[in-house]
Structure 1
């Protein structure tokens, strides 16, 4: 029975992300946030962690999110309508500004940080934040700061490890175990860590299934 349920979520996830996905809104400050509508899934992570590449792989698009060799290009909250025309979408994806890029001015970093705090505070439609962590490096202090913010905001979050294809098997097992352990005592963290690769497609179906399951639980 358990296997059948999981297979069903995998299919639901495939169908959800096979549908239309369109950019609908960009917010540079809290006062510009769109009116609350369908559930929102946000993606956060250090600059250059591969967030844009993962969003493109997740949605079967090549250019949904801008991929750049220059970290820090995402300077606002970008909202995408998934699974229906804007206004009738089943879900919204939110691309959050990357954090930890030292070459960006302190004032701009402060503005981004405040925008993220304002968004996380009391956003009733926010179902979960997926925090991307570079699988080659594991959880770093800046990632821990993001975990702290999410714990303090009482926002459910789940860690997604990236760049699975760039590690050896033993290295993958090691970073997965270390990441899982780092989340053990965090109150808002979802315990399951998903290892992904935007290049090979590893973990993408699993991530889609996790999102479909979350939506089913939220609508139950």
Structure 2
């Protein structure tokens, strides 16, 4: 692990990291169609309609970078975005939508499992969980998949603005308790709102620190200056 120093201002590093351009460059529907390994990757996963696209847009400061489908479960591909050569953001298909055909759901499962198990540049999955409801069984299923693949992941709660202020601390505590049952989970929970911007700076800082600590040995150096 790279020694990045305890005095680093990670909020400022995160701001600088996401201040540059971020552009779509690849979509993969099959595991044998993934792009070549390049800069360090951070992937975003979550239930359908969790607000994943909105949060990716808020992080990058782009209103239409990640596009949400009007039909939950429609997106079937891994979508890759180039963060000005310093990192790759990967938007993963949503899960947990009952109306999706089992055959299609199984296909998504194979694509995701193959990606998780065979992608050396993947540093961490950010698992987005609806802050209004907390962890669901489908979230735990995904976390068990990540545990089995030995992929580090962290939970970011979404829709903070729709949760009463008096309930937020308890929701974070409940989520941390749920994470304690999973071996690959990072022991931290971020509470975000794409609409108000709450928690976005903290999530950028989380990613900047991750890249600084682990990025240099994961398919390319991540210089945040």
Q: TM-score normalized by structure 1?
A: 0.93
1:98-142 Cα deviation digits (max 9, x unpaired): 001111211111111111001001310000000000001100100
Q: Distance in 2 between matches of 1:177 and 1:10?
A: 23
> 1:49, 1:133 within 8 Å by CA — same for their partners in 2?
yes
Shift in Å, 1:76: 0.3
Structure 2 match to 1:62 = 63
Structure 1 match to 2:13 = 12
Structure 2 match to 1:205 = 201
Q: Any runs of at least 4 consecutive aligned residues in structure 1 with deviations exceeding 3 A, and if so which?
A: none
Q: Distance in 2 between matches of 1:51 and 1:152?
A: 23
Structure 2 portions without partners, runs of 5+: 1-5, 218-225
Q: Distance in 2 between matches of 1:5 and 1:204?
A: 21
Across the aligned residues of Structure 1 and Structure 2, the Cα RMSD in angstroms comes to 1.2
Structure 1 residue 24 corresponds to structure 2 residue 28: no
What is the 5 A alignment of 1:41-190? 41-82=42-83, 84=84, 89-190=85-186
Structure 2 match to 1:216 = 212
Structure 1 portions without partners, runs of 5+: none
Q: TM-score normalized by structure 2?
A: 0.91
> 1:48, 1:69 within 8 Å by CA — same for their partners in 2?
no
Structure 2 match to 1:193 = 189
Q: Distance in 2 between matches of 1:181 and 1:150?
A: 17
